[in-house]
Structure 1
Amino acid sequence: KIRSWRGTYIPPIKIQKVEVLSTDQLATGVIALAKGLRVIATLFLLYVWLTAALGIFPWTRGISARLVEAVLTTFTAIGQAFATYVPNVISIIIIVYVTRYILKLISMVFTGIERGTIKFSGFHADWAQPTYMIVRFLVMVFAVIAIFPYIPGSQSDAFRGVSVFLGILLSFGSAGAISNIIAGAVLTYMHPFRNGDRVKIADTIGDVMERTLLVTRVRTIKNVDITIPNSMVLGSHLINFSSVAKEQGLILHTAITIGYDAPWKTVHALLIAAAKATTHILKTPEPFVLQTGLNDFYVTYEINAYTDQANKMATIYAELHQNIQDKFNEAGVEIMSPHYTQVRDGNQTTIPEQYLPKNYQAPSFRIGPFGNFFGGAKDAGTTKGKSKP
């Protein structure tokens, strides 16, 4: 009969679109409840019949009286225990309701701070949500401590032993989680980055997508989401590329090496022109070049340019490198690092032409005595005209 009620009298239980309990599960539960009530009713009727039957005969009336007394004593004890714990239950209900309204009040305050309607000097708006989570946790802990003495059986040794055992398990099992929570709270008030900032945490570079008390989620330029525990974030070297990009500009820099034969002023001009032709490079402050090394065979030039789009670093670098190649090719300047070995004779000097005398000519090759090519070299210590033994 009950199974035929499925879908009609017994609909499924849903939370939005998620089905928590199906009709089959509810029907099975109702059937089990009905069976239990039937067993209880059967036992009750059996008890009534037994006491009535035993009370009919004089020699069994004592047994009937003891059965009635036993049942009454049991229900009396249950009633007295319930009456004893009613004040405690009322106290627990009062504490729960007071805690609930305190949390609502705290939530209203921090929601106002987050929206900017309530302001405190030195308290950032993005601190509101994590601070609310911490305060709510402390209020709930205090409420649990206040409720604990009113819980039935809380004063017994068994209850205390189980509580201590669960506390030890929680302490050992949540050591890592607690360290991450503490690190998350420290990071919240250190304010090293915000959601959307381009950061480098250890070896990971990407945009901060989410920050919680336990983890920080970073999305790389390859659209890979990486979850980093807050304890690792706090213990790692952290670089924020976006922190001052909007106000002062982030300096992007790349280096090339050019031979000494290219005038440095020409190289500077070409690098600056390539930077100015790059999208998202700011016109002011203007790009600038640093010569960071005078090496044995070439000079190291570093172009520095400002941008306010830290999240587009990869594409800006790619376009900047393309523009450097184009500008140098148009000017006829080779991007190469020359190296010389052994012979310099017959090669043009690498000093720029404007620094050379007008009558300068590249030195000619010097060729030793032809006898050297045929094994006829003379030993400096031998006598002229006599061969070396």
Structure 2
Amino acid sequence: MQSRLLATLLFVFCVSCSMLIQAADETTSSQDYAELTVANRNVMVFRSTLMGESPASRVKRAKAVISEALDEADDPVVALDPIQDSYLVLLGTRRAFIVSPKDVDTLQYGSVEQAAQSAAEKLRQVVAETKESRSLRLMLRALVAAAIATGIYLALLWGVAFVRRKLLLRLPELMDRHTRALKVGRVQVIEANYLYPLVIRVFWLLRWLVLLLLTYEWLGFVLSRFPYTRPWGESLNNYLLELATYLFQAVVGAIPGLGVALAIFFIARGATAFTRQVLKRMAGPGTFNWLNYETLQPTQRLTSLAIWLFALAMAYPYLPGAGTDAFKGLSVLIGLMISLGASSVVGQAAAGLILTYTRTLRPGEFVRIGEYEGTVTELGMFTTSIRTGLGEVLTLPNSMITGTVTKNYSRIVKGSGYVVDTVVTIGYDTPWRQVEAMLLEAARRTPGVLEDPPAQVFQTALSDFYPEYRLVAQAIPSQPRPRAVLLSMLHANIQDVFNEYGVQIMSPHYEVDPDLEKYVPKDKWFLAPARKPDDQ
């Protein structure tokens, strides 16, 4: 039993080794090839061993036969002679080489006959070029053509240098004249001094491109004139022709996609204009609560942004190069940069939309946001600007506003205006009716405080030592007086009224009552260095 198992394992091992050796031989034979080149012209590629000769030996023998045949006759005839499944390529009466089925590249040639005909045609070209190289008349003609081409090449080089000198002389004047015409209003967009170095570099690059192209064409033409170097010249010309063909085909192939992208662009443009008109008509009263003249402009912008983003997503596959790995990698990089760096920007924009559509703030309203208060001057997508009573302009992030308690002094007032308020604390020994009357009198004396609606006094707290009185009035927003100045005048009038009636504003925390009441009599209001209004 063990011997039978051992024999089975040995058989499997031998079969595996033979398969590996056969695969290695096939790989080696597929990579073992030699190319027959005569007078710099590629004639045939041998890929198989034939009649005991390796591809390299077949190339060596074919070169020797072709050289002897060309030495014996100036114009030997190239012919094909089929033999079984192969073809003999004859040069005169000699066998130049054999084309076998294993020598044929199936991707390049469809059959052995086509490969043999191609090799024979290349060999005929070698024969013709050899005959041409032995003709003194043809070589002199090639030299004359090369000399004429060299003269034209030198003349073109001189012409490029001449045009460059003329352009450099006239360039400052041309740039100065044209840059002066590029204006937005009265502001010149581009300065010639900054643009001149860039234009010089562009001209330098174009000059070298033209010189390299002229040199390339001259070299390809000259090399093509002589039989021995003609394959080199043909390869240069073919490469340039293939490159031009590739670029032309790429441009032509991109035209349908560009047409679709342009169609999407015009459709998006028309849809944007149409939605703007529809939203403008719907912004009237009684249509939607969230759509009015205040939210019309941001709604139009958001709608246009959504349409253009959708159009970009639709047109992306039709853009030239959209399917290349470079374009895909660039798209991924841009998306990664936006996702990593725009989180705060998106948050600010979302907060701006919340403020806009909830109508928390409006330009012209007087508000208090956290510890900042002032008049709203601008409500933007990312920030909100307010002007304080001290003449400062504060720019607050919208995300901070949505996360902070906001007091609006203008929203609940009667008509136009904003609320102004202040707090005083007076002892329990002063009648509260007297305190309310004095506060209302101070409000009536303050310029800028409206009489309609009338000011009001509220007792907001009954503390251990004193009541707390809050005076609330409405101010006129159209006057240029800031809220800080208005409050200062209101506080001054409160002190004057309380002093007139002999009521002290000092809030008592009792240890003992003072011997004299703490207030300023009217005859001491203007002690030095204070001046009466009549003295100023």
TM range (shorter): 0.7 to 0.9
Match of 1:316 among 475, 486, 494: 486
Distance 1:26 1:156 in 2: 34
Change (3 A) 1:32 1:112: farther
Residue in structure 2 matched with residue 382 of structure 1 by the alignment:
none
Distance 1:53 1:8 in 2: 41
Distance 2:460 2:228 in 1: 117
Match of 1:234 among 402, 405, 408: 402
Deviation digits for residues 55-99 of structure 1 (CA, Å, limit 9, x no counterpart) = 332222232222222221221122122211111111122222222
Residue in structure 2 matched with residue 222 of structure 1 by the alignment:
390
Distance 1:57 1:294 in 2: 116
Residue 10 (str. 1) matches residue 175 (str. 2) = yes
Kept in 1, the 8 Å contact 2:390–2:484? The answer is: no
Change (3 A) 1:267 1:61: closer
Residue 281 (str. 1) matches residue 449 (str. 2) = yes
Amino acid in structure 1 at the alignment position of 2:366:
R
For residue 208 of structure 1, give the secondary structure of its aligned residue in structure 2. strand
Change (3 A) 1:308 1:328: closer
TM-score by length of 1: 0.77
Residue in structure 2 matched with residue 70 of structure 1 by the alignment:
239
For residue 10 of structure 1, give the secondary structure of its aligned residue in structure 2. helix
Change (3 A) 1:254 1:33: closer
- Deviation, structure 1 residue 53: 2.2
Change (3 A) 1:260 1:163: closer
Kept in 1, the 8 Å contact 2:376–2:386? The answer is: yes
For residue 58 of structure 1, give the secondary structure of its aligned residue in structure 2. coil
Q: Which has the larger radius of gyration?
A: 2
Distance 1:260 1:69 in 2: 108
Distance 1:213 1:244 in 2: 25
RCO higher in structure (CA 8 A, sep ≥6): 1
Change (3 A) 1:265 1:232: closer
Distance 2:385 2:266 in 1: 36
Change (3 A) 1:302 1:71: same
- Deviation, structure 1 residue 323: 1.9
Distance 1:38 1:287 in 2: 83
- Deviation, structure 1 residue 191: 0.4
For residue 294 of structure 2, give the secondary structure of its aligned residue in structure 1. helix
Kept in 1, the 8 Å contact 2:428–2:467? The answer is: no
Match of 1:176 among 331, 339, 344: 344
Residue 206 (str. 1) matches residue 374 (str. 2) = yes
Match of 1:306 among 473, 487, 502: 473
- Deviation, structure 1 residue 205: 0.7
Distance 1:9 1:305 in 2: 70
Match of 2:218 among 49, 55, 66: 49
Distance 2:168 2:431 in 1: 94
Residue in structure 2 matched with residue 363 of structure 1 by the alignment:
none
Change (3 A) 1:71 1:169: same
Residue in structure 2 matched with residue 269 of structure 1 by the alignment:
437
Distance 1:181 1:267 in 2: 49
Distance 1:38 1:263 in 2: 98
Consecutive unaligned residues of structure 2, counting only runs of 5 or more, are: 1-165, 517-536
Change (3 A) 1:180 1:81: same
Amino acid in structure 1 at the alignment position of 2:307:
V
Paired residue total: 343
Change (3 A) 1:313 1:59: closer
- Deviation, structure 1 residue 199: 0.9
For residue 21 of structure 1, give the secondary structure of its aligned residue in structure 2. coil
For residue 281 of structure 1, give the secondary structure of its aligned residue in structure 2. coil
Kept in 2, the 8 Å contact 1:293–1:301? The answer is: yes
Amino acid in structure 1 at the alignment position of 2:397:
P
For residue 173 of structure 2, give the secondary structure of its aligned residue in structure 1. coil
Deviation digits for residues 342-368 of structure 1 (CA, Å, limit 9, x no counterpart) = 7x8x989xxxxxxxxxxxxxxxxxxxx
- Deviation, structure 1 residue 243: 0.9
Distance 1:177 1:206 in 2: 25
Deviation digits for residues 5-63 of structure 1 (CA, Å, limit 9, x no counterpart) = 35532225333244443324444444434433433333333233323322332222232
Match of 1:150 among 308, 311, 318: 318
For residue 217 of structure 2, give the secondary structure of its aligned residue in structure 1. helix
Residue 334 (str. 1) matches residue 504 (str. 2) = yes
Distance 2:463 2:286 in 1: 57
- Deviation, structure 1 residue 148: 0.8
Kept in 1, the 8 Å contact 2:455–2:474? The answer is: no
Query: What value does the CA root-mean-square deviation take over the aligned residues?
Result: 3.1
- Deviation, structure 1 residue 206: 1.0
Consecutive unaligned residues of structure 1, counting only runs of 5 or more, are: 349-389
Change (3 A) 1:41 1:156: closer
Distance 1:295 1:43 in 2: 95
Correspondence list, 1:62-101, <5 A: 62-101=231-270
Residue in structure 2 matched with residue 195 of structure 1 by the alignment:
363
For residue 125 of structure 1, give the secondary structure of its aligned residue in structure 2. coil
Distance 1:43 1:193 in 2: 66
Amino acid in structure 1 at the alignment position of 2:387:
R
Kept in 2, the 8 Å contact 1:282–1:305? The answer is: no
TM-score by length of 2: 0.57
For residue 41 of structure 1, give the secondary structure of its aligned residue in structure 2. helix
Amino acid in structure 1 at the alignment position of 2:213:
F
Kept in 1, the 8 Å contact 2:223–2:232? The answer is: yes
Kept in 1, the 8 Å contact 2:416–2:476? The answer is: no
Kept in 1, the 8 Å contact 2:390–2:482? The answer is: no
- Deviation, structure 1 residue 209: 1.3
Amino acid in structure 2 at the alignment position of 1:306:
A
- Deviation, structure 1 residue 248: 9.2
Kept in 1, the 8 Å contact 2:175–2:192? The answer is: yes
Residue 185 (str. 1) matches residue 350 (str. 2) = no
Distance 2:316 2:457 in 1: 70
For residue 341 of structure 1, give the secondary structure of its aligned residue in structure 2. coil
Match of 1:138 among 285, 302, 306: 306
Residue in structure 2 matched with residue 105 of structure 1 by the alignment:
274
- Deviation, structure 1 residue 168: 1.7
Change (3 A) 1:244 1:7: farther
Distance 1:260 1:55 in 2: 117
Residue in structure 1 matched with residue 207 of structure 2 by the alignment:
38
